[in-house]
Chain A
């Protein structure tokens, strides 16, 4: 049996993965089955923005997050409204290439501005070296913080979708856009909101990861694949599913690192995703493929 440390860490990081997965899932279900290829890049961008803001203002990165997340929200909304909205009515695959281009742009702008050295938000957060004792295991505090913030964000999202007007409009547009239009929902604007919220969730996750680990501009693609993996495992359209999927991925990463070696942790993750795609493409809690 693996030390409880490994499993606990996996759970905590898994929650963050779940958060970024939910962002992608929201965009997928909300906007005509479109996968945001630049999702991971939005997360990395958020981490860099937090880095700049935090190092210039000497504020804690989590406080800077309060400013960065809305910026990414706005960016996502602009991308959706200005560019993607023109193309989505043809098919879900055409915007993919547009996103590939956008992803490349974001990655290379980040490369030019912040240079390719790996960075971390940890040195800017004085509590990053603190540890807590949980269930008899000594863990860095930052993992627990990431876990709680991810859970909190998910709860806020759930409440938002269920109880606010915009939230209901998002759900309506996702289920049946034409009917929603008939009911007076401005789908173009709602899509912009949906994308913005998805991006905002990615931003929160990105800042969390930036606090715990390092990041480089080329981390965009791996994060996108990670969020895709989360929704494959957990099922699209289900928040529970994304959380569970993320935790499974997180734990599998840690376990494979422990038993097979650090070299294989990513490989095992990918194989797991492919296996689920082969055997149960709709994921654990999923409803559609």
Chain B
């Protein structure tokens, strides 16, 4: 296993170094591309953790993105607090919301749980659509002046952190229990796993990271509206990335994210209006062909080929 680890660590260091130095020699347009990749990487890794391994289908993911964005707006713009405390607090608000609803929604399984998260996301959307303090339906300008290179680096750190967090959780004891819950929650219960606490930890981690991602994303356009913050596009794009990369595949998430952002920037520009349709078709087709995800299927094909030698 050492060889494999060395490959991974080595290439990660090279990649991180390149990405960190990137703002100094690539144009703004490519920085924006990588920025979107980082944000969606966080969302996809968290989806792998929460839905892929633990089986909690977080349909309301847009709700956490939105609450992160709006919390950041409240702290940084309405209350005029400095940047770093505002960011951290946005993540914490996401965690608080997750805590508040967990006792209600963890009682439920499968589809009921998923729908409840969607109800929560829409309730948050309905609230922020009318709350005058944050501008209501008109939206609000984010009063934070940051050079784009710094926004880029913050997103890079978050994306890297999300990969590390998910890797460590999955390889830990908690991860073992989450995988057990994901395969068969009742069996896990009988074996003595405290499913409630495990799911809670997992959910809290995910809500923190997702809210942070939402807060950081809106530093780029500098303007938050309820439609953009709570849009169903967050869910559909994350699902597309996860289905391409593999539902339980941490490294595959990177591939999935690069895939969808590349599609978005280069392909959809020429065929506007089709992006969500094609994403939906991708999700359905990949699901029917290979429910594990596209990349794991490709990988086992490669493995089969290599084994012949």
Contact = CB atoms under 8 A, between A and B. Distances in A.
A in complex with B: yes
Interface of A: 28, 33-35, 37, 83, 86-87, 90-94, 96-98, 100-105, 107-109, 111-112, 218, 221-222, 224-225, 228-229, 263-264, 266-267, 270-271, 273-274, 277-278, 281, 289
A277 B103 CA distance: 10
B110 A108 contact: no
Contacts of B273: 108, 111-112
Query: Chain B interface mostly helix, strand, loop or mixed?
Result: helix
B277 interface: yes
Contacts of B109: 92, 289
Interface stretch (B29-37, B159-167, B251-259, B278-286): B278-286
A101 B239 contact: yes
B29 to A, nearest CB: 27
B271 to A, nearest CB: 11
B283 A289 contact: no
Contacts of B57: 93, 96-97
B104 A35 contact: no
Contact of A97 (B112, B118, B129, B243): B243
Interface residues of B, number: 43
Contacts of A224: 118
A195 B232 CA distance: 24
Given A96-B114, A101-B284, A274 B279 contact: no
Interface in B17-63: 55, 57, 59
Interface stretch (B5-13, B120-128, B194-202): B120-128
Given A93-B110, A93-B114, A112-B273, A100 B119 contact: no
B108 A105 contact: no
Contacts of B277: 104-105, 108-109, 111-112
Nearest to A115: B273
B123 A34 contact: no
A108 B279 CA distance: 10
A270 B119 contact: yes
Nearest to A116: B273
Interface in B105-139: 105, 107-112, 114-116, 118-120, 122-123, 126-127, 129-130
Contact of A281 (B108, B243, B288): B108
B279 A104 contact: yes
Contacts of B291: 87, 90, 94
Interface string B133-163: 0000000000000000000000000000000
Interface of B: 55, 57, 59, 101, 103-105, 107-112, 114-116, 118-120, 122-123, 126-127, 129-130, 232, 235-236, 239, 243, 273-274, 276-277, 279-284, 287-288, 291
B111 A28 contact: yes
A228 B117 CA distance: 12
A149 B115 CA distance: 28
Given A102-B284, A228-B119, A277-B116, A91 B110 contact: yes
B134 to A, nearest CB: 14
B112 A289 contact: yes
Contacts of A281: 107-108, 112
B283 A98 contact: yes
Given A28-B111, A35-B115, A274-B116, A103 B104 contact: no
A101 B280 contact: yes
Given A225-B122, A263-B130, A35 B280 contact: no
A273 B274 contact: no
Contacts of A102: 280, 284
Nearest to A24: B115
Nearest to B115: A228
B120 A104 contact: no
Contact of A87 (B114, B120, B279, B287): B287
A265 B229 CA distance: 21
A83 B288 contact: yes
Query: 8 tightest A-B contacts by CB?
Result: A104-B280, A101-B283, A108-B277, A270-B123, A35-B111, A263-B130, A105-B280, A267-B126
B110 A225 contact: no
30 contacts: A35-B111, A87-B287, A92-B109, A93-B57, A97-B239, A100-B59, A101-B239, A101-B280, A102-B280, A102-B284, A104-B232, A104-B277, A104-B279, A107-B280, A108-B276, A225-B118, A228-B115, A263-B129, A264-B126, A267-B130, A270-B126, A274-B101, A274-B116, A274-B119, A274-B123, A277-B108, A277-B119, A278-B103, A281-B107, A289-B107
